């Protein structure tokens, strides 16, 4: 066919404009091809057999005499072939027909699989005709497609409409093996983390000789993840299963399934509110649910290295699982995986809305309780496994107490308690049980817990006095900072017993501070005396020769040492006066506390709504209570371990009191 003899299509008909009338019609799906026998028969064994068979039948039929026919009339009939199950449809047959006519074609990863299947269907083998379609497509597959990760994924995508022939020819299996082989040899760090919204902006800041090398690597990595996400769910599940059987890097598998979830499940990422494109939108909730459960079932059980981003995404999957009413095993799997890395979560992540009508609270408190339980169980298991490697029990306890993960979770849960405390439907028992589930070692100070208790009592003024005392029993007054103690002592929402405890421990803190100051002052004086004595002894040794000049220098040093001593004595006297003043204040606080205890014993029925006992105390003790807004900050916190050491030193040195 020359360059001027090009095929053309009119509606559902396809014509080859060679100037010769067509002598064969081939129907594929809804397209009709008007072609010529010779080009097709020269390349396709199957078409050659079909055309030969029809011509033989036509000769046999024409040999039968017909009375109605004119003997001088010659009738020519066209061959007619119909393919109802042609692999790749009319598009693949059109390309195969062009190949038969000698039209130059552009092979690509997207069409090579369909052409390979078309060649197999039409029996366009090398034995039948040299340099035929099967050999050309196989050469392109081996040299171009299977040596590239991206090309293998594109060809794999094209196989979705070629089943079962693509499987029978091994195209699907070869593409999957190529993807696994290329992905296993790649470093996941080069691709970045495709579900991270900040990855693109961060990569642009990394330049090498003015070239955004990191950005290009991230884009290259995301490109094949995007191509992988174009696969339909059955083929995607098959690929992920093959990755797991090949023991591919779990981080790559997790990245693949999370990228797939991000593309096909709406709302899985809170920061991404853009609508999904029509090509990737999921039409029904049933399909979304199936995709979600597939993604979750293929998540590696271990903690991911990029846990901060992964944790946000896992919470997004959990919210979606609740909305779609996914299976219980799916939600349990998500909760367990989140529990492994709960310290990487944020307060916004924990605020999972309650989608079930069975839950009265605004947020799903039960879900967070289960996640916290998984975290604590895993934490205890890690500590138990580490006990064999630790020599002393005390060192193990200190290490557990100072665990950064446990401290982060403690701060996170206290913040969550403050958020849910304002919910009017949150029962006192649920609040208490959730707050007490966190171990003591998770809270270095109870300021965050005190804030949550204060918010709860303010939002639930109808709570009975016994329940108030139970909730306030969560607090360890020894772990409250001075700022929190000051607020609690003036908090009208707290029961009287809690206020008395706060005042008592506030007094102890002050006495310990005084004792510590006295010890420091006396230690400083002793150091001054010792240094002055050493200085005089050194001067006497140096001036032992008795020269007049050196004697004069000795006199000067003695006078300087004497002046230093007098200054230290005066500073010590001023310091002792301050200590006496502080002792006086401590004694006053002790008397006030004793007076308060006597007043409390005389009170028979404490006021339910507050105010009554505070008015009585105010009149008898001459003090006023004001209500403040609790806003404690960790910057004002004092180390409780230092307080324990101070109490021990106080017991060993009773004369300081």
Q: What is the DSSP string of 376-440?
A: HHHHHHHHHHHGGG-S-HHHHHHHHHT-HHHHHHHHHHHHHHHHHTT-TT--HHHHHHHHHTS-G
pLDDT at 111: 94
342, pLDDT greater than 60: yes
Query: Cα(132)–Cα(143) distance, rounded to whole angstroms?
Result: 17
Question: Whole-number mean pLDDT of the chain?
Answer: 74
- Mean pLDDT for 266-287 is 61
Tens-digit pLDDT profile for residues 567-603? 665 666 666 666 666 667 667 766 766 776 676 666 6
547, pLDDT greater than 50: no
Q: What angle do CA 446, 447, 452 make, to 5 degrees?
A: 95
Look at 40-44, 97-101, 180-184, 604-608 and tell me which has the smallest mean pLDDT.
604-608
Domains of the chain with CATH codes: 10-60+77-145 (3.30.710.10), 341-386+403-522 (no CATH)
Query: Cα(463)–Cα(208) distance, rounded to whole angstroms?
Result: 64
- Mean pLDDT for 36-56 is 88
pLDDT at 308: 61
H or E element in which residue 313 lies: helix 307-323
Please indicate whether residue 566 or residue 302 has the higher confidence score (pLDDT): 302
Give the neighbor-by-neighbor strand order of the sheet with 7-10. Answer: 7-10, 13-16, 31-35, 24-28, 79-83
pLDDT at 339: 93
pLDDT at 549: 37
- 441 in Cβ contact with 401 (< 8 Å): yes
pLDDT at 279: 45
Look at 65-74, 184-193, 196-205 and tell me which has the smallest mean pLDDT.
196-205
% pLDDT > 70, the chain: 61
pLDDT at 202: 40
Query: Cα(620)–Cα(626) distance, rounded to whole angstroms?
Result: 17
- Identify which of 27, 6, 7, 165 has the alpha carbon closest to the alpha carbon of residue 83: 27
Confidence category of residue 224, pLDDT binned at 50, 70, 90? confident
Look at 23-37, 210-224, 303-317, 442-456 and tell me which has the smallest mean pLDDT.
210-224
Confidence category of residue 453, pLDDT binned at 50, 70, 90? very high
Q: Is 130 in a helix, a strand, or coil?
A: coil
pLDDT at 383: 75
- Mean pLDDT for 387-415 is 69
- Mean pLDDT for 518-531 is 60
Look at 438-447, 477-486, 498-507, 623-632 and tell me which has the smallest mean pLDDT.
623-632
Within 10 A of 142 (CB to CB), how many other CB atoms are there?
Answer: 11
């Amino acid at each position: 066919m020359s360059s001027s003899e090009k095929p053309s299509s009119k509606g559902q008909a396809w014509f080859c404009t060679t100037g010769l009338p067509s002598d064969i019609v081939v129907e594929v799906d809804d397209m009709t091809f008007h072609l010529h026998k010779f080009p097709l028969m020269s390349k396709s064994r199957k078409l050659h057999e079909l055309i030969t068979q029809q011509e033989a039948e036509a000769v046999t039929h024409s040999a039968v005499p017909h009375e109605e026919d004119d003997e001088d009339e010659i009738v020519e009939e066209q061959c007619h072939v119909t393919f109802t199950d042609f692999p790749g449809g009319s598009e693949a047959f059109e390309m195969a027909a062009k190949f038969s006519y000698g039209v130059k074609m552009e092979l690509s990863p997207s069409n090579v699989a369909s052409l390979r299947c078309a060649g197999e269907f039409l029996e366009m083998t090398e034995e039948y005709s040299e340099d035929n379609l099967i050999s050309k497509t196989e050469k392109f597959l081996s040299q171009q497609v299977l040596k590239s990760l991206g090309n293998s994924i594109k060809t794999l995508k094209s196989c979705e409409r070629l089943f079962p022939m693509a499987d029978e020819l091994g195209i699907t299996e070869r593409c999957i093996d190529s993807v696994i082989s290329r992905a296993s040899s790649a470093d996941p760090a080069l691709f970045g983390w495709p579900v991270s919204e900040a990855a693109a902006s961060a990569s642009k800041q990394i330049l090498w000789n003015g070239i955004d090398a990191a950005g290009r690597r991230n884009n290259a990595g995301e490109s094949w993840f995007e191509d992988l996400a174009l696969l339909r769910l059955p083929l995607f599940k098959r690929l992920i299963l093959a990755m797991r059987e090949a023991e591919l890097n779990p981080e790559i598998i997790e990245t693949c399934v999370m990228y797939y979830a991000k593309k096909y499940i709406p709302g899985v990422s809170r920061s991404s509110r853009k609508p999904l494109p029509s090509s990737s939108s999921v039409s029904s909730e049933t399909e979304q649910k199936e995709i979600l459960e597939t993604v979750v079932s293929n998540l590696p059980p271990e903690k991911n290295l990029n846990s901060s981003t992964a944790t946000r995404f896992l919470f997004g999957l959990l919210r979606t699982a609740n909305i779609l009413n996914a299976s219980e095993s799916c939600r349990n799997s998500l909760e367990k995986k989140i529990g492994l890395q709960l310290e990487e979560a944020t307060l916004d992540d924990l605020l999972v809305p309650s989608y079930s009508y069975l839950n009265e609270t605004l947020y799903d408190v039960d879900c967070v309780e289960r996640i916290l339980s998984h975290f604590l169980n895993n934490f205890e298991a890690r500590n138990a496994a580490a006990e064999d490697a630790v020599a002393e029990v005390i060192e193990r306890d200190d290490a557990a107490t100072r665990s950064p993960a446990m401290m982060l979770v403690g701060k996170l849960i206290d913040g969550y308690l403050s958020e849910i405390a304002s919910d009017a439907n949150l029962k006192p028992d649920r609040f208490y049980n959730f707050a007490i589930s966190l171990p003591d070692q998770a809270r270095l100070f109870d300021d965050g817990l005190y804030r949550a208790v204060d918010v709860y009592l303010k939002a639930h003024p109808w709570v009975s006095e016994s329940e108030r005392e139970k909730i306030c029993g969560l607090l360890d007054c020894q772990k409250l900072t001075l700022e929190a103690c000051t607020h609690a002592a003036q908090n009208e929402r707290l029961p009287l017993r809690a206020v008395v405890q706060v005042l008592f421990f506030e007094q102890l803190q002050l006495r310990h501070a005084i004792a510590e100051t006295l010890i420091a002052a006396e230690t400083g004086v002793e150091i001054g005396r010792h240094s002055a004595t050493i200085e005089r002894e050194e001067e006497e040794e140096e001036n032992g020769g008795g020269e007049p000049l050196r004697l004069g220098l000795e006199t000067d040093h003695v006078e300087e040492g004497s002046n230093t001593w007098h200054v230290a004595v005066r500073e010590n006297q001023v310091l002792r006066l301050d200590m006496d003043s502080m002792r006086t204040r401590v004694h006053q606080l002790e008397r006030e506390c004793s007076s308060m205890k006597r007043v409390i014993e005389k009170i028979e029925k404490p006021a339910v709504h507050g105010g009554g006992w505070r008015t009585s105390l105010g009149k008898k003790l001459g003090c006023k209570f004001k209500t403040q807004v609790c806003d404690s900050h960790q910057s004002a916190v004092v180390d409780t371990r230092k307080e324990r050491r101070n109490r021990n030193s106080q017991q060993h040195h009773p004369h300081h009191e």
